[in-house]
Amino acid sequence: MPFDFRGKKVLVTGAGKGIGRGVAIALNKAGSKVYALSRTKSTLDSLVDECPDIIPIVADLCGWEDTREKLEKIEVLDGLVNNAGIGGHDYDAVDCPKEYIKHILDNNLLSAINCSQVVAKKMIEAKVKGAIVNCSSTGSLAAFPKGLPYNVSKAGMDMVTKQFALELGPYEIRVNSVNAALVSTPLVQSLIERGTLSENTFSSRMPMGRILTLEEIVDPILYLLSEHSAMVTGQMHVVDGGCMSNITVKV
């Protein structure tokens, strides 16, 4: 479906690479004024080279106060995409260290809470009917080996979605999650090429028989930001090729 974001202003976190970069570019093409946040200046520089209208913000979202200070300087927004996050699959559950768990939660969960608080308060004060989309994962819905901190962070993200949706609904601010299975980003492709991930294993679990393309997760995010989803809030929008709907694809 066509998306028209002319006159809208949206912040995308984790916008230097992968899904966040794809969302930032798609929003820019649809007419939105885009603020792109990443901790890595070089990836933002290349994004701006590709889309000169995008406004870069270099910030480490693990720095709670520094992040708030930078976001307070931004104008009132119409949308926020909490996409920033990292993987965390280095330890079995019984051996996962406390500091490692805290590091993943800081990056994947607390950062989204922090950004949502600042952006939503400004929306409320300006009486803007906005939308927040949290990039969660099918890892919030089902466990996989060595996934304790990552999966807990994404399960927490889903509850953050519900809580903010409940409390922001009276202000006509919608909050939803997208819960994607494996997406073919440059990072994922490099992991597949190195043998760290098996594309065949993931594809074999999906009735659709393949992993997601970048566009197949970008479009659902834009839908949830747009007026096409005007009465959709507090929802976990699973985009997984049917992976979570089955025990096994073949008997």
Identity (one letter) of the amino acid at 128?
V
Question: Is the dihedral angle over the CA atoms 50, 53, 58, 62 positive or is it negative?
Answer: negative
Q: For residues 65 and 193, give the distance between their C-alpha atoms in angstroms, rounded to a whole number.
A: 39
> What's residue 89's pLDDT?
84
| Active-site position among 8, 9, 33, 154 | 154
Does residue 177 have a pLDDT over 80?
A: yes
Per-residue pLDDT band at 251 (split at 50, 70, 90): low
| Active-site position among 8, 150, 171, 250 | 150
Question: Which residues have CB under 8 Å from 163's CB, separation 6+?
Answer: none
Do 44 and 36 meet the contact criterion of CB atoms below 8 Å apart?
Answer: yes
Q: For residues 50 and 43, give the distance between their C-alpha atoms in angstroms, rounded to a whole number.
A: 11
pLDDT exceeding 70 applies to what percent of the chain?
99
Do 54 and 24 meet the contact criterion of CB atoms below 8 Å apart?
Answer: yes
> What's residue 199's pLDDT?
86
Tell me the helix, strand and coil percentages in the chain, rounded to 5: 50, 15, 35
> What's residue 205's pLDDT?
85
Domains contained in the chain, CATH given: 9-185+218-237 (3.40.50.720)
Within 10 Å of residue 55's Cβ, how many Cβ atoms?
14
Please give the structure tokens belonging to residue 1.
């479906």
98 annotated active-site: no
State the average pLDDT for the chain.
94
100 annotated active-site: no
> What's residue 1's pLDDT?
63
The CA-atom distances, in angstroms, between 179 and each of 38, 95, 135, 161 are 21, 27, 7, 12
Q: Are strands 33-38 and 236-239 parallel, antiparallel or unpaired?
A: unpaired
